[in-house]
Amino acid sequence: MSETFVLVTGAWHGGWAWRPVAERLRAAGHRVLTPTLPGLHDGDDPTRYRLSDTVDAVVDLIESHDLTDVTLVGHSWGGYVITGAAHRVSSRLRKLVYWSAFVPAAGRSLNDEVPPQYRELFEGQAAASGDNSVALPFEVWQGAFMNDADEPVQRLVHELLVPQPLQYFTETVEPIDPATLGVPVASVLSTEDVALPPGEYGWDRFPQRLGVTPVTVPGSHEGCFTRPDALAEALLKA
């Protein structure tokens, strides 16, 4: 049966990052939309937008295309975006899927959920940027985000990333209550994902918040590039 997927990227990415996975889902007969969110287009002014603008963009996309029975997927920071949108388009959703994604808690921003060294890095970079934005250093990308790729591939993809408005990391959204949302929720975790280090700050906190058992898939935090076949299969299975 054909499904409709709306795939929301994590920080520093645009909809282009989903292309390997989207093409595999389309080849299997599904409709796939991969928006680039406000503030994350090449050349966007990071000071113009709030986190709520990204939520509005996803809601507008779903409503303007009159989409129904949607599987809404969020990756990493995109968990904040799909959570904010889910409240407003729940009647149009088939499922909500968090792939190695933050599941917001009440009053807690992304900066409240990451290790102190990340928070210090993000705030320091934003202060020095002149436009309150964060550029992910290559060394962090190489070692923690795309650790299952060769260096030439790591460098190529890293060059495509855009600065992330810091306010997207410091603002909050209302959390969902899976028991009352009226929409099934699921979690997909990549087994080699160390973008958040295992332990106190690890990704396995977030399926627990949802009360679900995650579907596991091989690959790093950037499995959309390095393991697209496995990730597409996991999204269909979740």
Task: Name the residues annotated as catalytic.
Answer: 76
CA distances 116 to 94, 103, 133, 136, Å, are 36, 18, 18, 16
Q: Which residues contact 95 (CB under 8 A, 6 or more apart)?
A: 71, 72, 183, 184, 185, 186, 238
CB atoms within 10 A of CB 95: 17
Contact 174, 201 (CB under 8 A): no
Count of C-beta atoms within a 10 Å radius of residue 40: 25
